[in-house]
Amino acid sequence: MSASTELTKEALGAIAKAHSDSELETIALDYLGRKSGQVTRLLSGIGQLEPKKRAALGQAANEAKRTIEGALAARRAELEGARLADIAETEAIDITFPGAPLGRGHIHVLTQVQRQIETVLENLGYQVELGPEVETEWYNFEALNISAGHPARENWDSFYFTPELLLRAHTSPVQIRAMQRIKEPPIYIITPGRCYRRDAPEATRLPYFSQVEGLAVDRGLTVGDMKGTLLFMIQSLYGKERKVRVRPSYFPFTEPSFEFDVSCGICGGSGCKSCRHKGWLEVGGCGMVHPQVLRNGGIDPEHWNGYAWGFGIERMAMSKHNVDDIRLFYESDLRFLDQF
């Protein structure tokens, strides 16, 4: 057997036993390395041979080189194939496997209740009107008959930026803005939005809350019209079994004025822990718009009159869903929020 045939055989044996690229690398160097590869060395002795033998040896050596290179490439491909097959098996992605469910968000209960109120009243012909949360003293108080020094101001203890500018304490200033904008009655608007008062957080009140105000200005409106509208709104939202009542009260911007209560949804009015044994939940105030307030809005009280209400959206959500602590709405606890 010639030297190159022997080397080839030896190399092929080593290649067949190799199990990694680096082993193949070592074998390649060992046989075909530029300086000390065994096949290379075979060729370097060629100069000493007599010319006739040179060609034969050169050919044999080149043949050996090609064979070894071929075997190296084939073995590399084989190892790579095995590696990929192994990955395919161990790291396979089962595309039929059901994915992890993605949590789906939903609309906050207060927004839900606000939108329901809007829908009920829009169906009655009311339009949504928005006003600024940073209000002037005039819109928030003066135009509503609550002048400086009026004892009723204590009910709207407010956050001031300057003596003129404050966070609105109720949505009633939007009554004035709506009258000024629309000018010509009939006016039927509701105005939902955030309000702020200097109150410490407790189970029934917060320093920030939402109200939805309603204002109707037309000819010959009565307390009966107002009560009918509010009863319709409450029963549309909560169900026909709920009762409502008005109690005489006082607001500088309405005359007469009332507090508005809804029967407790848990005890049905007989009194329980949730309604603090009253049987009723207070949701807000209402009344017939004071003539001076109409005038402040640019409307002649000789020709027009109106009614208005301002209800707390949190209070409405509490009485709708039988929640007994207002703070729950703002704690962002999903165990609470996911119920709605």
- What tokens does 267 get? 């005890």
Closer CB to ligand PHE, 195 or 323, in the complex: 195
- Give the angle subtended at the CA of 132 by the CAs of 112 and 211, to the nearest 5°: 40
CA distances from residue 34 to 9, 39, 60, 67, 337 in whole angstroms, order as listed: 20, 9, 17, 17, 75
Count Cβ atoms below 10 Å from residue 22 Cβ, excluding itself.
9
Which residue in the shown chain puts its C-beta closest to ligand PHE? 310
Positive or negative torsion for Cα 184, 190, 193, 196: positive
Q: How far is the CB of 150 from ligand PHE (least distance, A)?
A: 14
Nearer to ligand PHE among residue 31 and residue 156 (C-beta): 156
Least distance from ligand PHE to the Cβ atom of residue 101, Å = 43
Could you tell me the CA-to-CA distances from 62 to 40, 54, 157, 177, 332 in Å, in that order?
9, 12, 101, 99, 79
Beta strand 127-128 pairing with 187-196 = parallel
Distance, CA of 168 to CA of 221 (rounded, Å) = 28
* Least distance to ligand PHE, CB of residue 282, Å: 10
- Residue among 67 and 254 whose Cβ is closer to ligand PHE: 254
Residue (4 or 158) nearer to ligand PHE, CB: 158
How far is the C-alpha of 71 from the C-alpha of 67, rounded, in Å? 6
Residue (37 or 259) nearer to ligand PHE, CB: 259
- Three-state DSSP class for residue 300: coil
Cβ at position 313, least distance to ligand PHE in Å: 12
Burial of 218 (0-12, 13-18, 19+ CB in 10 A): middle
Bridge partners for 259 per DSSP: 247, 285
- What is the closest distance, in whole angstroms, from the C-beta atom of residue 215 to ligand PHE in the complex? 8
List residues near ligand PHE by CB under 6 A.
Answer: 170, 172, 213, 251, 254, 284-287, 308-310
Nearest-approach distance from CB 206 to ligand PHE, in angstroms: 14
DSSP 151: G
Q: How far is the CB of 333 from ligand PHE (least distance, A)?
A: 28
Give the residue with the Cβ less far from ligand PHE, 71 or 293.
293
Closest Cα to residue 139, out of 113, 165, 102, 163? 165
Q: How far is the CB of 107 from ligand PHE (least distance, A)?
A: 25
Backbone angles phi, psi at 198, to 5 degrees: -80, 75
Closer of 232 and 250 to ligand PHE (Cβ) = 250
User: Judging by DSSP bridges, how do beta strands 280-289 and 254-263 pair with one another?
Assistant: antiparallel
Q: Which amino acid is at 47?
A: G
Query: Whose Cβ is closer to ligand PHE: residue 28's or residue 195's?
Result: 195
